[in-house]
Amino acid sequence: MSIYTPHTKGDIKEMFEALNISSLDDLYSMVPKGVLLDKLDLPEGVSQADAEIEIKKMAGKNHIYSAYLRGNGSYYHYIPAVVRKMAERSEFVTAYTPYQAELNQGILQSIFEYQTMICDITGMDISNASHYDGATASAEAILMCSDKKRNKVILAPFVNDDTKVVFRTYLNSMEIIEAPSKDGKVDLAGLSALLENDVACFYLEQPSAIGIIEQAKEIGELVHSVGAKFIIKSYPIALGLIANPRDCGADIATAEGQSLGLPMAFGGPYLGIMATTKAMQRKLPGRIVGQTVDSRGDKAYVLTLQAREQHIRREKASSNICSNEALCALITSMYLATMGPEGLNKVAKICVNNAHYLQKELEKVGLKRKYDVEFFNEFVTTSDVLANKILNKLDQNDILGGVMLNDFDILWCATEMVSKNDIEKTAKLVGEVLC
């Protein structure tokens, strides 16, 4: 980071004279004495070396598992060293919202490159500069589709629980309906019965919250048949292998960008990805950076559209989102540029292979797959043995097992960070519990 330069005594004296005061305390003369504190009850300061020792002791309380078999919205992927190193550079870490576009060409270019890459992987026409996380991006996408005549949203049957919590907060003025399921997927006949002229949109996660690959194209055709919009929230790594949202007929594509170069980091900060078609671009919340030329004919970057309350009349704003995850978006751009299409495809294939190998090994020892349908890198198992007994056994052996969905069902996940030995050790330990 750059060196911090405080005000000199001369600077402070000059400011005091301009304000006609003699001390900083004079700035608070109007505050009641009973509210003011003489000092904060803080411990004595320590040296940097001692502080580092204490911080390491605190960090040592975190348990780092030897293997991770859990996903459910936050995924353990490899982050190339070049991405980690570049993201630490001070000019990137300190970059903020480009309010004065002509003075922020670097950050504007980085956002433009991010938008371009997001359009590449989603197949959409327009991407915004990012949202806070995948859940808020998805909630905003639903709001883009609603109007006075259409105020009903249908959700796929298996949506991430944390995302549904955000929906209940964001969409309290809308009617939210959950579509029925059949064999772990959207029941097309049941969905068709729900689709009426007052439906604003259908929201699908692809793969679903339990890892299943949905028949997205068929769903999109059904949704469009009644004039509703189709939203797909993707797991970005899967886009290296499966059909992108545009090819499936989506009007809006959203995603949680954490898997693209961001560590799990105790749940954040993460990245909300959002892109749409040209037909809906003026409803896209947040900001969009565009490329143009300046008065001399040189390449220049500008804030093209800003449909948010700080920049246009509040009653016409499509969103109250007032910022974006610029650093997280930049890191995602670094990751995608480093991996390229072939790298993303390879990671996706390894995830699929590892997950299917894990599923087969668990089945050998008695854990049956609950839904016998195509999945990406997450799947649900069930057995007659309590799930917490299985997960506790793995925890005791330094393996973070899957997510317990209920007393007997477990949602497992495998990424490229899981080894063959990890999988075989897991299956052996599970077998000991089941026998």
Please report, in tens digits, the pLDDT of each residue of the chain (435 residues total): 445 567 888 998 999 999 999 998 898 888 998 888 888 888 888 999 999 999 999 999 999 999 999 999 999 999 999 999 999 888 887 766 676 777 788 889 999 999 999 999 999 999 999 999 999 999 999 999 998 899 999 999 999 999 999 999 999 889 999 999 999 999 999 999 999 999 999 999 999 999 999 999 999 999 999 999 999 999 999 999 999 999 999 999 999 999 999 999 988 899 999 999 999 998 888 888 999 998 999 999 988 876 555 555 566 666 777 677 889 999 999 999 999 999 999 999 999 999 999 999 999 999 999 999 999 999 999 999 999 999 999 999 999 999 999 999 999 999 999 999 999 999 999 999 998
> Residue 379: helix, strand or coil by DSSP?
strand
Task: Give pLDDT, residue 42.
Answer: 86
- What CATH number does residue 244 fall under? 3.40.640.10
Report the distance separating Cα 20 and Cα 117, nearest Å.
54
The dihedrals phi and psi of 239, each to the nearest 5 degrees, come to -70, -10
Q: List 404's β-bridge partners, or say none.
A: 410
For 67, which DSSP code?
E
- Residue 213 forms part of a structural domain: yes
Residue 407 DSSP SS3:
coil
The encoded tokens of residue 124 equal 């959409």
Return the pLDDT at 426: 98
Q: What's residue 322's pLDDT?
A: 67
For residue 368, give every residue at least 6 positions away whose Cβ sits within 8 Å of its Cβ, in sequence order, or none: 381, 382, 383
Same domain, 332 and 351: no
- Cα 250 from chain centroid? 19
- Amino acid 52: pLDDT: 96
- Whether residue 16 is contained in a domain is answered as no
Same structural domain for residues 315 and 393? Answer: no
Q: How many domains does the chain have?
A: 2
pLDDT for the residue 91:
81
The owner of tokens 């070049």 is 82
Cis peptide before 207 (omega within 30 of 0): yes
> What is the largest distance, in Å, between two alpha-carbon atoms of the chain?
82
Query: Do both 188 and 146 map to the same domain?
Result: yes
Domain boundary among 336, 361, 386: 336
Residue 26 lies in a domain: no
Same domain for 150 and 192?
A: yes
**Amino acid present at 400:** L
Residue 269 phi/psi, 5° resolution?
A: -70, 145
Buried/exposed code over 367-405 (b: 16+ C-beta within 10 A; e: otherwise): bebbbebebbbbbbbbbebebeebbebbeebebbbbbeb
Give domain status of residue 10, yes or no. Answer: no
**345 shares a domain with 322:** no
pLDDT of residue 25: 87
How far is the C-alpha of 421 from the C-alpha of 150, rounded, in Å?
52
| Sequence-distant (≥ 6) Cβ neighbours of residue 33 within 8 angstroms | none
> In terms of domains, do 366 and 227 share one?
no
Same domain, 247 and 395: no
CA distances from 336 to 81, 182, 260, 411 (A): 13, 35, 7, 28
Q: Which domain holds residue 422?
A: 67-77+341-434
CB 433 within 8 Å of CB 381: no
Contact at 8 Å (CB) between 303 and 160?
no
**10 Å Cβ neighbour count for 283?**
16
Q: Are residues 369 and 255 in the same domain?
A: no
In a domain, 186, yes or no: yes
328 and 414 belong to one structural domain:
no
Point out which residues pair with 293 in neighbouring strands: 299
Q: Which of 290, 318, 336 is the last residue of a domain?
A: 336
d(CA 133, CA 272): 4
What are residue 126's DSSP bridge partners?
276
- Of 276, 301, 336, the last residue of a domain is 336
| 309, burial (CB in 10 Å: exposed 0-12, middle 13-18, buried 19+) | middle
Q: Does residue 379 sit within a domain?
A: yes
Q: Read off the amino acid at residue 103.
A: L
Q: 242 and 122 in one domain?
A: yes
